[in-house]
Amino acid sequence: MKALKITVCLFVFLSFLPIRAEDAAPVQDIPNFVKDGVLDLEGAIRYFENLYRSGSSIGEMEMTVTRPRRTQTMRMKAWTEGEDKSLIIVQAPPRDAGTATLKVDNNLWNYMPRIKRTVRIPPSMMLASWMGSDFTNDDLVRESSIIDDYEYKVVGPSESPKGWLIRCVAKPGVVGLWNRLDLIVSEDGTIPLQAMYYDRKDRLARTLYWSDVKVIGGRRLPAVMKLVPEGEEGNETVMHYLDISFDVTLPSDIFSLSRLEQAQ
């Protein structure tokens, strides 16, 4: 099963040392994909797909999981290489510190420091919650491309939020969780604002919101993502990206089971 790339971009950020926004690289040139009142669909989609991508990255983030009777915030750091490798380590709160997740290609392992055990996540557990959040294990390992896996078109201007509504429908033969994705981008076509995911029966399953646009790692992008499942009142997961550094040199053994179990 596949989940869209935008739900997996949580891996693009966490570091050995924080990179302050004011110390970041020069800001990339910001294009405008609207000319004479018409959105350049191909340009906007390609820009969106590469917004969080990098050959490698380090950074840090906070994830807040809200439920009707409780709220929990975890601070994490992560390393990524391309689209197929990532290591995420929980730093806080103390009771969860050292818990880690390693992704290599379509394989996923969790390390649980309390019992000092590494567990490989089987296919039967891919739809289970990741770290108690509204993201699933499947979100972490499955990636797809709008360009490769979806047929897309501009529906027209969006009023709430203000921007452009792009409809993406899964191509025939593409196997995945989502039949359709309705994506809203900013008025200039450069910033994702909202995405509505529809399951294989074309029912709204969840909505992803982007906010707090700022310059991080030399890129102008949303620093906050909020995922809200449909029909689960009071449930949401907010991912706040604190610091990002793109295209960095990583240790050769960073994406190994031994590094996973060190969880340092």
Residue 192 lies in a domain: yes
Q: Where is pLDDT greater, at 77 or 28?
A: 77
Q: Write the pLDDT tens digit of every residue in 33-54.
A: 999 999 999 999 999 988 888 8
Per-residue pLDDT band at 143 (split at 50, 70, 90): low
- Structurally, how many domains does the chain consist of? 1
Tell whether 255 is covered by a domain. Answer: no
The residue-averaged pLDDT of 217-236 equals 95
For the cut 70, the answer to whether the pLDDT of residue 79 exceeds it is: yes
Contact 255, 80 (CB under 8 A): no
Domain-located, residue 256: no
- Note whether residue 174 is domain-resident: yes
What is the residue range of 107's domain? Answer: 5-249
pLDDT digits over 120-130, tens only? 998 888 788 98
Is the model's pLDDT at 218 over the cut of 60?
yes
- Residue 124 is part of a domain; what is its CATH number? 2.50.20.10
Q: State whether the Cα torsion 160-161-164-169 is positive or negative.
A: negative
pLDDT value at residue 28: 59
Please report, for residues 99, 110, 209, 230, the alpha-carbon distance to residue 93 in angstroms, rounded to integers and kept in the order given.
11, 17, 25, 28
Locate 244 and state its tokens. 């990002």
Output the CA torsion sign for 67, 71, 72, 75.
Answer: positive
* Mean pLDDT, rounded, for 61-89: 94
Domain contains 214: yes
257, part of any domain: no
Average pLDDT (70-85) is 92
Write down how long the chain is. Answer: 264
Rg (CA), the chain: 18
Tokens of 163: 């921007």
Q: What would the pLDDT profile of 162-179 be if each residue is shown by its tens digit?
A: 999 999 999 998 877 899
CB 3, CB 176: distance < 8 Å = yes
Judge whether 231 lies within some domain: yes
- Is 264 contained in some domain? no
Check whether 23 has a pLDDT greater than 50: no
Residue 206 binned pLDDT confidence (cut-offs 50, 70, 90): very high
Chain centroid offset of residue 8 CA: 3
| Most confident stretch, 204-213, 215-224, 255-264 | 204-213
